[in-house]
Structure 1
Amino acid sequence: MHALHANPSQSIRHSLLGEIKVPVFHDVEQAAQRIRDHVRRTPLLRSPVLDEIAGARVWLKAENLQITGSFKARGAFNALLSMSPDQRSRGVIAYSTGNHGQAIAWAAKQLNTKATIVMPSDAPKNKILGALKQGAEVRQYDRRHESREAIGMQILEETGGTLIPPGDHPDVLAGQGTVILEAIADLQRETEEGLDNFITPCGGGGLAAGSSLVLKALSPSTGIFAVEPGDFDDTVRSLASGRRESNPAGSQSICDALQAVTPAELPYEINRHALTGAVAVSDEEVAAAIRFALEQLHVLVEPGGCVALAAVLAGKLALNGGNTVLVLSGGNIDMPLLETMLR
């Protein structure tokens, strides 16, 4: 078991890699077996229009159709199932801008576990309500003046529960890796050719990291690309500098799910070696991708879940005619924002 426990002297930001192990491909295989009866096997979608625009054959892994509306259900359930019954009895704590929190709340409810979710007060209301509807306690904070990690540690000390962060947790990363594990298996039924490119949205980097564990084992020649919002391009800059970069205070984007301050430490340790590259897209490009998904794919994707598609539509990545899988990572869009974009 790899969860982080309450410790008055522990700092979430300090030396995480010294406390938890880096997951490997076998951990993803185990996660797939562990969660297969609890999560949805999402489809691979196709669009002839997208293929023509991209100059490649593109399959879209529709995690916007996942239980709780995002891929986060995979890592959340794997993390809770990896805990002992005694650990679950003391409850779990997560900090999240929305999708990870909803997923932890849902997984906790399925396993009769108390969940406390630390969420910024400006998180989309639908995501806050989503966690509350699953029976979780939601602790809101001001992200400009308060630290979610400090609040999480305080709750841990008060309850003796277990923290399940969105990125720095090996069981979470292993669960996220099941996205591409499924996609590769389904793709093999569609074509005998290999996978040339994999494109994923990137916030803290957990989906990219978990997926790279699978790709390096099963398809090592596949190019792995991460896509971020323009004002939250910390992974783009971190790959260029060779160290974890941070985003300026006050950065804004419609991609609420991807507003990480800096790459999470454990995912970055994997991604700095595994990623072929990373690019950023503007809010306008994301809005265009959301409209494309509605009109051509007939699915609703939230802004953060649509950045990989936005990068392809905007020509930010040269796919060179290769077989490509990209992830639509979430569908929990804020309705007032959607109404504004459609107008």
Structure 2
Amino acid sequence: MAPRVPNIDDALLWAHDPNATEQQLYVAADTLVSWGQLDLADQIIEKLRQNPAYGRGLNRLSAASRQLRRSGVLEDLAAFSADGGEVIDGRHEAFTARYDGETRKAIIVFTGIDPRFWLSLMMLHLFLKRLNTHIIYLTDLRQLIFFDGLETVARGYDGLRDALRGTLDSLGVDEVHVMANSAGGFAGLRYAIDLQAKSFLGMSIRTDLSVDSRIPVGGFFKRQGLRDVAPHMLIDLKPELIKSRYPERVILYSGDGNPVDRPHALHLADLPRVEVNLLPDHVQHDVMAGLLARGQLEDVLRDFVYGAGPSTAGNAP
């Protein structure tokens, strides 16, 4: 089992604890920004600025906070709450947000160890719902990164794949888009192949978990639990992509300076339908935070679904 990831409750506790360490306060600020609790986050950021060791990270969080304020999602959140909308918090393994209008598109979201996409799922939803699609959120609470399906949906890789097909059919979907983050990215890409996805958007994902891989992966992916549950899933996805026509488009993002995320993205860079995007001067695993801070996130999401390209993505409805 991976270490427990700090959540919004931890962040709120540390934010109001006079004995919290600077590291706890930094994690609290990071989490609070990702949940859109910006006033409290900004207070912590200013408090930590006296320590130059946090300068770069604080600048990124401040920029992300400003972009969230400019984006209008805070107003959307207030309206969503006023309408009695159900909070999407990753505490359920699966949640389907149906689009009220006409659409044949769906986005399937695979989270990582942390049931966030750096952005909390609620904040991510406020961006994704602007794309006018159905959205299916998946979180593996057993931390088996979807290798064994989902306990409350369908067990086994094949079981979850078939369950997703059934859900997509019931929604009347004929165009599937898959996005995945961090530890959820490997299985997310595998499901995108089998679900014949139109596009796949991967943020800091792993692409080769084969035993003889020379790409670093970290201890989380070497756990005996994964080998016990699904040894057949520990493969290199590159040959699978070569054999399949799907996803029709693979879009990968990584920090240019991340020693693990970067080589996994570049592993697929020579395939013709793969686009690798490296964020300059970004070392952290939270590439979504980097895109938000740079004001690029909405264009990236629209391009992922509508294929208009980051500079002209406003053509999407």
TM-score when normalising by structure 1: 0.27
Relative contact order higher in (CA < 8 Å, ≥ 6 apart): 1
